[in-house]
């Protein structure tokens, strides 16, 4: 279920034999296809209010270990590894960005857009991902603890004035040590964290606009 993040690269060299000879090659059996997972989405969006705050949701900043599609786990809280034969549907920063947009779409007072949308925005929200992994804190045979930790910066898009910073950390115990259970726990912790971020943004705006 677990493999190291340090991968060795292997190349298979094929030798071209004369056409008159018998050509054969010995290749390893293909590896089983990875199971692909998505983060869950809100069931329904709501119409935005006329005075809803429009904000640009930046692509989150992440460490090198979290830049790809690997489902990252920690055997002991220090080392990082990845779940074998399983991956996220997209690079993790893109999944988190989409999740933030999805959480905002369920609110009438906030509207989130991508930087590539070309839409004029009044505000900007940026996440730095401190943690997004499941830790086998009770041993590798037990259900791990999924952890999501975000540092959030909220600012004015035009003036670049900082409106506030926020730190949120959420955990969720997986129901077992299986990959589907780990993904479900990670998903739940992520949704709880981003919902809290949206609540905090609303609170900041209510004070800023008053």
Q: Rounded to an integer, what distance in angstroms lies between the CA atom of residue 49 and that of residue 37?
A: 33
pLDDT of residue 68: 96
Q: Rounded to an integer, what distance in angstroms lies between the CA atom of residue 127 and that of residue 95?
A: 12
Query: Contact at 8 Å (CB) between 140 and 77?
Result: no
pLDDT of residue 26: 67
| Model confidence, pTM | 0.84
Residue written as tokens 């045979």? 141
Q: Rounded to an integer, what distance in angstroms lies between the CA atom of residue 95 and that of residue 35?
A: 16
Task: Domains for the chain: give ranges and CATH numbers.
Answer: 39-209 (3.40.50.10610)
**Regions of the chain short of the pLDDT cut 50:** 2-24
């Amino acid at each position: 279920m677990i493999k190291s993040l340090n991968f060795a690269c292997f190349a298979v060299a094929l030798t071209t034999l004369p056409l008159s000879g018998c050509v054969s090659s010995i290749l390893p059996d293909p590896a089983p296809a990875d199971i692909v997972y998505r983060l869950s989405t809100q069931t329904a969006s709501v119409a935005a209010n006329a005075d809803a705050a429009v904000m640009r949701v930046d692509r989150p900043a992440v460490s090198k270990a979290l830049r790809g599609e690997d489902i990252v786990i920690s055997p002991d809280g220090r080392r990082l590894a990845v779940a074998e034969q399983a991956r996220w549907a997209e690079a993790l920063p893109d999944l988190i960005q989409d999740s933030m947009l999805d959480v905002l779409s369920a609110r009438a007072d906030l509207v989130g857009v991508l930087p590539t949308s070309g839409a004029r925005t009044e505000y900007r929200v940026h996440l730095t991902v401190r943690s997004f992994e499941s830790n086998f804190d009770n041993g590798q045979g037990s259900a791990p603890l999924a952890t999501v930790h975000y540092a959030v910066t909220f600012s004015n898009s035009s003036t670049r004035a900082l409106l506030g910073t926020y730190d949120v950390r959420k955990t969720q115990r997986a129901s077992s040590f299986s990959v589907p259970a780990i993904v479900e726990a990670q998903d739940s912790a992520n949704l709880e964290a981003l919902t809290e971020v949206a609540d905090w943004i609303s609170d900041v705006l209510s004070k800023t606009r008053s």
